[in-house]
Structure 1
Amino acid sequence: MLAQLNEGEFHPYYGAYISKAKHIDVVKGLHHGKKEFVDFVNSIPQEKFTYAYADEKWTIAEVLQHLIDAERVFAYRALRFARNDKTSLMGFEQDDYVPNSNANNYSKEELIADFEAVRNSSITLFKSFTNEMLLRVGEASSSAMSTRAVGYVLAGHQAHHFEVLKERYL
């Protein structure tokens, strides 16, 4: 997967996420991730959603809400990059989002519906991009990133957090 992307299309930090993306085609990967999200979340008992494996760690619901929030942020970045907006975008502090997300009060069904809405929007967005748009590079968090790299990050970020949930929570 990394071999497809050129040097300068993403900060090395995102390499770990990009390498977990399962499909070469970004849109197919996002579709696959949507189904995987629904199936995985449906397999988790509702009573486990507020479980955290240690003090100061996010609950399962908070991890899922983090995926939703991050997708919103990254999809916005992809839109800006694809439209050739050269304005440098600031980063976001995920640890500030989580305690303000109210995630532990959401049901499984609400989290799934929210994710599906966001992911459907991301799929529609990435379908609209031409090859030229996918190759455009913008700047976020003081680092260069291409539009297509954002799509791989979305898919790989989900895969990363599912691995963590399986290893440490379930």
Structure 2
Amino acid sequence: MPQRPSKEEYLPYYEQYIGLVGEESIIEILTKQLTSTTELLSDIPEQQSNYRYAEGKWTLKEVIGHISDNERVMAYRLLRIARGDQTPLAGYDQDEFMNGSTFQDWTLSQIIEDYISVRKATLALLRGLSEVAWQRTGTANDAPISARALAYIIAGHELHHWKLIQSKYLSH
């Protein structure tokens, strides 16, 4: 099982996500998130999933869609790096991704199903990595990053957004 990434394995920007992740195995953390997030989302009424807390902010459905989109991007980077691909990988603009999405047209149950599918695919990928693959580094968004840092970013990014969801979307 991979150890927590050192600060040399990622840009300081990502500490806002990695710093939120506990000390358990990353696969265990991501598995627990799958269960807890699915349970939390399943308790939200469809009407509330269209809520946005301010003009120009994403709806709750869009936030959950963004979590899945980000996980797809990070897992893709992780796959390429873990397999030893040294091709520099481009960054992405989350707002452009959202502009190109149709999450507002989906039901909350479709958003949940998408989240579950993405997380299960990520977990399958991670379970198949060797110790060497976990430690490989590559370049993404013009900066060095390790495969294991990307796994921690996936978990921490979700934790970051759940704090916002609880304070901005579910407390109104």
Please give the range of the TM-score, normalised by the shorter of the 2 chains: over 0.9
| Residue 117 of structure 1 pairs with residue 117 of structure 2 | yes
- 1:45-86 Cα deviation digits (max 9, x unpaired): 110111111111111000000011111111000000101111
CA separation of 1:166/1:9 partners in 2, compared to 1, >3 Å: closer, same or farther? same
How many angstroms apart in 1 are the aligned matches of 2:50 and 2:104?
6
| Residue 84 of structure 1 pairs with residue 107 of structure 2 | no
Q: Which moved more, 1:129-138 or 1:40-49?
A: 40-49
Give how far 1:23 is off. Answer: 4.4
Aligned to 2:139: 139
How many angstroms apart in 1 are the aligned matches of 2:145 and 2:64?
24
| Residue 148 of structure 1 pairs with residue 151 of structure 2 | no
Q: Which moved more, 1:6-15 or 1:22-31?
A: 22-31
Which letter maps to 2:29? G
Aligned to 2:128: 128
Report if aligned partners of 1:75, 1:122 keep a CA contact under 8 Å in 2: yes
Matches within 5 A, 1:19-30: 19-30=19-30
Report if aligned partners of 2:135, 2:148 keep a CA contact under 8 Å in 1: yes
Gaps of 5+ in 1: none
Count residues with an aligned counterpart: 168
How many angstroms apart in 1 are the aligned matches of 2:125 and 2:4?
21
Gaps of 5+ in 2: none
How many angstroms apart in 1 are the aligned matches of 2:105 and 2:131?
41
How many angstroms apart in 2 are the aligned matches of 1:52 and 1:22?
29
Aligned to 1:60: 60
Give how far 1:42 is off. Answer: 1.1
Matches within 5 A, 1:85-100: 85-100=85-100
How many angstroms apart in 2 are the aligned matches of 1:100 and 1:168?
24
- Percent identity reads 33
Aligned to 2:37: 37
CA separation of 1:22/1:45 partners in 2, compared to 1, >3 Å: closer, same or farther? farther
How many angstroms apart in 2 are the aligned matches of 1:79 and 1:160?
23
Report if aligned partners of 1:50, 1:60 keep a CA contact under 8 Å in 2: yes
CA RMSD of aligned residues (A): 1.3
